[in-house]
Structure 1
């Protein structure tokens, strides 16, 4: 048993090292002057913070950061409300076509995002949403995954609890907000984390729908340092990437328990 534990811990440490090495290398490169970025030293010989200063002075990094925060927060709030509401309706109301509707929603999970880009762009262009916050936001305001997750969790709420609220005179929206939602808070927390992370890291759709530099989100803005608009500046790319992961690390540290629970819930009925 001791030998097995030793082997297990050795494998876990090695695996953790492999996973952490790119992150450590990113931080190390962000602290190196341009002359040293291609050296193999983990600890920079000439430690500098000039890269962090240049990122803010030579680009619209702060604006891109704020844009990503706005997009991630709005889409997360929208997904939490609408996906939870739809999941509640499908789980707790009997109506004709309920099963077919749920299958239709699940079928959207099988469609690759790349296949939706052209319809999204045509819709944005027709409605005048290109190059705007709304153009970035609308594809992520509801998700099939969120509906699936919340529906599965809503089914665990006893019907007697909801019926007791109806007998007490509460309307359906009050039952949803005051009775159902508090029962599914762990699942909502997990869904909120997943939604925030996916929208924070979104690249392809914002790249296509946004033209103005001041409306870029952070992943798209970071590509500025390696695009035709400027020479590839790896020290600034790594610096921007280091700053961009700070909100994700904070979210993970405080809510990692809900992330693990959310992964578990996706396979439960």
Structure 2
């Protein structure tokens, strides 16, 4: 396994990131992938006249080059990485060459995924998740996660849910900052002596200061609870509304079907009564 604590070049850090993401985070795995990919193996043999006596020599040459790309300061300048290897890395790691060159943070070589990420601001993982969970709606009874999110995001919920979450999260930040400040005051009070200070200064530094901060924290906690209630109400409102809309669209013909069933049932009973009389 390539150690992330090793001295890596700028390109090496980027290569390591995508290699780990693709489950190929060691030089041996990359050597194996390049060697057994016919096209990659051919193009990385820069010295075409070199005839390796055995596969080990060829693999070792590839390994040295990969290790060099990972660790040599020379490759802080990404453009110095040989284009043959840059292409090979993009193939074996299914990765965008633009990502390897540091021109984008999107690893995917799928131009469709790249386009969606760039247009929407969604992460690559989010787009891949949506694509992977898309269900062809040939069956009306099928439930699609992607469609569920799509419908929910069509409404005002796209703005109101994240904004209510942000308001609540900011309250948590305020509480955390106050806790850090109170802790700092307590540590400073425990580590220093206030002797020799005038009474006003001592009052500013003693427990009254801590009590003031704790009172402020209590008020902040109340506002945080209010923000939490608002956030949960917002989420509940939109989810309930969407559930009602979705439920209303299910089995629209069942009413007529039930009606016809009841009519047929009554006809059968009526015929049965007639036969009994005969």
- TM band (smaller chain): under 0.3
Larger Rg: 2
TM-score by length of 2: 0.26
Higher RCO structure, 1 or 2 (CA under 8 Å, sep 6+): 1
